[in-house]
């Protein structure tokens, strides 16, 4: 596969790098490929209220399975006023702080680069975090080698990585419409709601928090699981017990970056 050869050459030329590691499909594939290329790498995972605890534990376990050095760093995005106020630049502020920290680690410990798991598909959505990556000269080897999410999943499957079909799991701040303040209490409520829905067997899901209303997004193939009288009742009761006033199901199903539609409307 030409793309894989190109990725391997990019990584070999880099020689060493600190990776912003989420434990997801993209960053795990990148970490494994770096290992196979023999470059010096350090996987660093941010720990804060905006990241689901299960994702942090999964990142730790995967790094352990791969036998690679892994480090946790604590971050506090809610201490950034514009982040907590949930402006459209929220992602930039988060990534700006993270990449600054990772760059300090790289400089102090002799790594040549900082890299992330962005892929070629990411250019199709609103991602201000890419501006932060550019500001701090963070490399995105998967995007440079023109790997799409589909490419990454297929190569991960061939490598035997258990993450090959793992659903995407962006930070919990993405569950709130821009302009709605993000609080620790609200983040915990979303996390508990999604953990509960996951316990029902749902894989690809989001609970969008609209200031008292939970708008549930699931994949179309899983939507029927929520429509039985018994399931609807227990979901409504459980989410309301967490503090939601209304519980709804989005009939369009799961869509990545669905809250960015509001930004598109403002441009019209």
Same domain, 113 and 219: no
Confidence (pLDDT) at 257: 64
What end-to-end distance do the CA atoms of the chain give, in Å?
42
Cβ atoms of residues 145 and 33 within 8 Å: no
Report d(CA 88, CA 120) in Å as an integer. 22
Cβ atoms of residues 32 and 155 within 8 Å: no
Q: What percent of the chain has pLDDT over 90?
A: 83
**pLDDT tens for each residue of 213-251:** 999 999 988 998 888 899 999 999 999 999 999 999 999
- Give, in order, the Cα–Cα distances in Å from 92 to each of 32, 86, 129, 206, 267: 27, 11, 4, 22, 20
Domain final residue pick, 165, 196, 231: 165
Same domain, 229 and 159: no
Domain final residue pick, 140, 165, 190: 165
Determine which of 69-78, 117-126, 157-166 has the lowest per-residue pLDDT on average. Answer: 117-126
* In the predicted structure, residue 43 carries a pLDDT above the cut 80: yes
* In the predicted structure, residue 209 carries a pLDDT above the cut 90: yes
**pTM of the entire predicted model:** 0.90
Range of the domain at 94: 2-165
Residue with tokens 């549930």: 216
Same domain, 94 and 190: no
Confidence (pLDDT) at 124: 62
The domain tally of the chain equals 2
Same domain, 115 and 184: no
Q: Helix, strand or coil for residue 121?
A: helix
Same domain, 96 and 36: yes
- Report the CATH number at residue 88: 3.40.50.620
**pLDDT tens for each residue of 146-204:** 999 999 999 999 999 999 999 988 999 999 999 999 999 999 999 999 999 999 999 89
What are residue 119's phi and psi, to 5 degrees?
-120, 180
Confidence (pLDDT) at 125: 63
Report d(CA 108, CA 82) in Å as an integer. 29
Report d(CA 87, CA 169) in Å as an integer. 21
């Amino acid at each position: 596969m030409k793309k894989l050869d190109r990725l391997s050459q990019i990584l070999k030329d880099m020689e060493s790098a600190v990776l912003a590691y989420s434990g997801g499909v993209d960053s795990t594939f990148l970490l494994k490929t770096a290992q196979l290329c023999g470059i010096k790498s350090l996987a660093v995972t941010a720990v804060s209220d905006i990241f689901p605890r299960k994702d942090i534990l999964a990142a730790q376990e995967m790094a352990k399975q791969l036998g690679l050095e892994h480090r946790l760093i604590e971050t506090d995005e809610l201490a950034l006023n514009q982040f907590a106020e949930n402006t459209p630049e929220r992602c930039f502020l988060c990534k700006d702080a993270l990449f600054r920290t990772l760059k300090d680690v790289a400089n102090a410990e002799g790594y040549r680069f900082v890299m992330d798991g962005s892929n070629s598909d990411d250019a199709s959505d609103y991602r201000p975090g890419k501006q932060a990556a550019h500001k701090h000269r963070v490399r995105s080897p998967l995007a440079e080698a023109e790997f799409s999410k589909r490419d990454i999943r297929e190569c991960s499957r061939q490598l035997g990585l258990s993450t090959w079909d793992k659903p995407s799991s962006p930070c919990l701040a993405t569950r709130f419409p821009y302009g709605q303040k993000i609080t620790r209490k609200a983040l915990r409520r979303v996390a508990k709601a999604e953990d509960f829905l996951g316990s029902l067997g749902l894989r690809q899901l989001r609970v969008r928090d609209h200031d008292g209303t939970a708008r549930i997004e699931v994949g179309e193939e899983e939507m029927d699981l929520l429509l039985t009288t018994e399931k609807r009742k227990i979901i409504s009761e459980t989410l309301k017990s967490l503090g939601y006033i209304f519980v709804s199901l989005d009939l369009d199903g799961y869509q990545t970056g669905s809250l960015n539609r509001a930004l598109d409307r403002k441009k019209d």
